[in-house]
């Protein structure tokens, strides 16, 4: 493995986001720092036979009004979210698209989804088994597969390099971003699009999650004593990553540097998180970045508001950070935008980069009485001004699949 000083540096030059608290960076960030909540009563599907009736929906999303190309208009909602986020990220980056020749071949497009086009699949089953139709829509297969979003974006921008979808439940986005990061570091690519998208809010998904007894009927309240589960949400986030010299030579505005990435598997349990797995992922990300725990100013926590996860994440932070754990600012922004499943870590990464840019730590809203076993600074209820030089974003998924990103300032 190359030593850190020999690796190519990777920077962020564009980002795009679709979320329950806003589509586009400006709307998203304004809502995030203001502590707005996008969780409410479900409207995208019938809540008959459900006792969990809340979720985090992307409001007023219209792919046609947003100017997405025809290929996205014919795709599943999750691919449309990815297309919208990619357009914003690419436009911000200033890259000339579509790409051609060797430049196209040396660009990656890694966009994952935890579930893919599951709403299209549910509609198809209804057509076949309830409406007794003889066939489904002819594009059903293409709309459902988990690599559709990546393929659509690669077609849109002429990207002919590595292109595929990652599936790792709630760690999908940071795994996707981390893979692009490693491809650029190693010299395989000069730039790439990385992220994830999720649009799985439907009756069947809600019914399945409800059966696991991990959803809250009231809201998402991370690290609180009275927390009673997570809330399903939808959204997408895309980052444009580039090799530093490549970005500098074309005069791109650099938003941040991606300096560290760590990933582990608990290899223990499908549901209950492991202290060893989560803490090791954080330590590996710090080691990759060449940073000490005290260098981190802000952590965007996985913070799902499930009993086991919040306690485990708190213990993992204390294990890795030691005495520095009491000085780091932490927030769980899922309390506002909900749990976007595979897209969650990407949405949160956008929030981290914007927090670094403005020097504002977004809050954990709905925070009343803390759990005695969750004893860190979770930035309760109101955003706080703080200079943020280095920040960490945690994602810990079902199956014990852990991925951690560390961002630093744009190189001088």
Catalytic positions, written as ranges: 170, 302, 339
Where helices occur in 238-290 by DSSP H, the ranges are 244-249, 275-289
Sign of the C-alpha dihedral computed for residues 283, 284, 286 and 292 taken in this order: positive
CA separation for the pair 223, 374 (Å, rounded):
6
Is residue 184 within 8 Å of residue 242, measured between CB atoms? yes
Task: Single out the residue of 22, 115, 8 nearest to residue 350, CA to CA.
Answer: 22
Where helices occur in 22-76 by DSSP H, the ranges are 25-34, 70-73
What are the distances in angstroms from CA 338 to CA 38, 174, 398? 7, 17, 16
Structure tokens at 328: 């780091």
Contacts of 358 (CB under 8 A, 6+ apart): 29, 33
Task: Single out the residue of 164, 165, 166, 162 nearest to residue 190, CA to CA.
Answer: 162
Structure tokens at 107: 């660009």
Is residue 247 within 8 Å of residue 254, measured between CB atoms? yes
Task: Respond yes or no on whether the N-terminal peptide bond of residue 217 is cis (omega within 30° of 0).
Answer: no
């Amino acid at each position: 493995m190359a030593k850190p000083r020999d690796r190519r540096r990777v920077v962020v030059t564009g980002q795009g986001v679709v979320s329950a608290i806003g589509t586009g960076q400006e709307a998203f960030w304004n809502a995030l720092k203001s502590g707005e909540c996008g969780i409410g009563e479900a409207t995208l599907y019938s809540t008959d036979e459900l006792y969990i009736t809340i979720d985090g929906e992307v409001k007023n999303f219209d792919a046609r009004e947003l100017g997405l190309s025809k290929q996205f208009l014919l795709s599943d909602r999750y691919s449309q979210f990815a297309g919208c986020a990619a357009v914003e990220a690419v436009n911000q980056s200033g890259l000339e698209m579509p790409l051609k020749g060797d430049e196209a071949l040396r660009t990656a497009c890694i966009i994952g989804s935890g579930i893919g086009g599951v709403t299209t699949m549910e509609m198809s089953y209804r057509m076949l088994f309830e409406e007794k139709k003889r066939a489904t829509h002819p594009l059903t297969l293409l709309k459902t597969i988990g690599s559709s979003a990546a393929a659509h974006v690669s077609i849109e921008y002429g990207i002919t390099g590595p292109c595929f979808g990652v599936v790792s439940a709630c760690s999908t986005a940071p795994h996707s971003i981390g893979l692009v990061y490693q491809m650029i570091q190693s010299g395989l690519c000069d730039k790439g699009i990385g992220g994830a998208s999720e649009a799985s809010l439907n009756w069947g998904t809600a019914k399945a999650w409800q059966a696991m007894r991990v959803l809250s009927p009231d809201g998402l309240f991370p690290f609180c004593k009275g927390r009673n589960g997570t809330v399903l949400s939808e959204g997408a986030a895309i980052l444009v990553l580039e090799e530093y010299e490549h970005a500098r030579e074309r005069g791109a505005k650099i938003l941040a540097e991606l300096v560290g990435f760590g990933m582990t598997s608990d290899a223990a349990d499908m549901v209950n998180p492991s202290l060893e797995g989560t803490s090791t992922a954080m330590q590996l990300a710090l080691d990759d970045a060449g940073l000490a725990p005290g260098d981190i100013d802000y952590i965007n926590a996985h913070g799902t508001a499930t009993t086991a996860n919040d306690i485990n994440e708190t213990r993992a932070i204390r294990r890795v950070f030691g005495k520095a754990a009491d000085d780091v600012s932490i927030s769980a922004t899922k309390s506002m935008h909900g749990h976007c499943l595979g897209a969650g870590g990407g949405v949160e990464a956008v929030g981290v980069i914007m927090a670094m840019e403005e020097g504002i730590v977004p809050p954990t809203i709905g925070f009343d009485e803390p759990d005695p076993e969750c004893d860190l600074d979770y930035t309760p209820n109101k955003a706080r001004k703080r200079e943020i030089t280095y920040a960490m974003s945690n994602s810990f998924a079902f199956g014990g699949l852990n991925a951690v990103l560390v961002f630093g300032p744009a190189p001088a």
